[in-house]
Amino acid sequence: PVSGGGKWQEYGEQIQDELQAYFDLTLKLTTENITANTFAKKARSSGADIIIACGGDGTVTEVASEIVNTDIALGIIPLGTTNALSHALFGLGSKLIPVSQALDNIIQGHYQAIDTARCNQHLVLLLVGIGFEQQMIESANRERKNALGQFAYLDGLWRAVNADITLTIQLSLDDAEPTTLTTHSLIVANAAPFTSVLAQGDGEPNMTDGLLDITWLDAGSEPTDKLLSLAELAIAGWVKEGNKDTQSKPPNVPSSTTKVHHAHAKKVRISSEPKCKYVIDGEIFEPADLTIEVQPASLKVFVPYQESTENAIDPKII
């Protein structure tokens, strides 16, 4: 209920009224001591056909972690600050009419199987990040998000750029030998909308191609170097958004521009000395070596109806 500065208070009644017209609805509210994982696990064991997560990306990941690789369909009602997964799944409609669109998706009953990933046994729906991403998320705490909304992330990114922390890491893609990188930012993405600038090494990642998108920046010594890298990523995201490219590259073939590098892989290993903190889908984790592996078509998610949608399920019981 605290997601997005308390959006549940605004939309909760509408959500319940519309869903109860079609489903046998059971509502559970998380607290500081009771997570969405707990409720999702109980719903799964009770035989639920559909489990709906109302909240931000962290809440969605908690729920999805309990139903990945099952026949349970995940509904997402975006009530967080950024709602990056909804943006990647539903497009700009998730920004303009987020709740109405999400309810329509669930009621119409059309779903798509999307990829997920595992990072050190934690579920990844969006991305794993070190450097700028981790520093940005850590800066954009609950207090700052409540005060600034999405601008808390822009402020956090600007703080990370100015902090000028350089990381030396060992990166291994699939079965290749490790490569040493000196970087300010490294992202391993399963999914990310074009607004997630740091993940746009090859434009918006494809969450159904069975591959992870790896993007890293050269460590520049001048502030303008970092700004140029961010500008390249933003342009890549906007261009790909405007001209979708359905062709996916083979794994483990890196490409590069002036400051930005990109590759695809099914499995990624990252180590550093000293070890650094990292972020998974907006949640901070303590320093560790990382192993990230894609799980193709492992999660059923309700999406907007399209003529090409092959899978649909009849509304049954939540």
Asked if residue 267 and residue 230 are part of one domain, the reply reads yes
Asked if residue 16 and residue 66 are part of one domain, the reply reads yes
CATH code of the domain in which 69 resides: 3.40.50.10330
Asked if residue 151 and residue 37 are part of one domain, the reply reads no
pLDDT tens for residues 117-174? Answer: 999 999 999 999 998 888 888 776 656 655 555 556 566 666 767 777 889 999 999 9
Domain annotation covers residue 104: yes
pLDDT tens for residues 4-59? Answer: 888 999 999 999 999 999 999 999 999 989 999 999 999 999 999 999 999 999 89
Tell me, what's the pLDDT at 200?
Answer: 86
How many C-beta atoms lie closer than 10 Å to residue 51's C-beta?
22
Q: What's the rounded Cα separation, in Å, for the pair 104 and 22?
A: 11
Asked if residue 147 and residue 88 are part of one domain, the reply reads no
Domain annotation covers residue 313: no
Q: 3-state SS string over 164-222?
A: CCCEEEEEEECCCCCEEEEEEEEEEECCCCCCCHHHCECECCCCCCCCEEEEEEECCCC
| Angstrom distances, CA of residue 29 to CA of 2, 115, 211, 298 | 10, 27, 35, 26
Task: Dihedral sign for Cα 161, 267, 117, 241, please.
Answer: positive
Q: 3-state SS string over 51-78?
A: EEEEECHHHHHHHHCCCCCCCCEEEEEE
The two structure tokens encoding residue 180 = 């040493």
DSSP code, position 48: -
From 45, 42, 82, select the one nearest 60 (Cα to Cα).
Answer: 82
| Angstrom distances, CA of residue 248 to CA of 99, 213, 263, 265 | 32, 10, 11, 11
Domain boundary among 110, 136, 164: 110
| 133 contacts 215 by C-beta, under 8 angstroms | no
Asked if residue 152 and residue 286 are part of one domain, the reply reads yes
The two structure tokens encoding residue 294 = 């894609």
Asked if residue 98 and residue 129 are part of one domain, the reply reads no
Asked if residue 157 and residue 43 are part of one domain, the reply reads no
Q: What's the rounded Cα separation, in Å, for the pair 299 and 280?
A: 17
Asked if residue 253 and residue 230 are part of one domain, the reply reads yes
Domain annotation covers residue 79: yes
| 105 contacts 83 by C-beta, under 8 angstroms | no
Confidence bin at 196 (pLDDT 50/70/90): confident
pLDDT tens for residues 58-98? Answer: 899 999 999 999 999 999 999 988 888 999 998 877 677 88
Domain annotation covers residue 289: yes
Domain annotation covers residue 152: yes
Query: Strands (DSSP E) along the chain, which ranges?
Result: 50-55, 73-78, 111-119, 122-124, 127-131, 167-173, 179-189, 212-218, 255-256, 260-265, 267-272, 278-280, 283-285, 290-302
Whose structure tokens read 């909308």? 193
| 169 contacts 180 by C-beta, under 8 angstroms | yes
Asked if residue 183 and residue 81 are part of one domain, the reply reads no
For residue 142, what are the domain limits?
Answer: 123-297
pTM here is 0.82
Domain boundary among 110, 134, 159: 110
CATH code of the domain in which 240 resides: 2.60.200.40
Asked if residue 273 and residue 186 are part of one domain, the reply reads yes
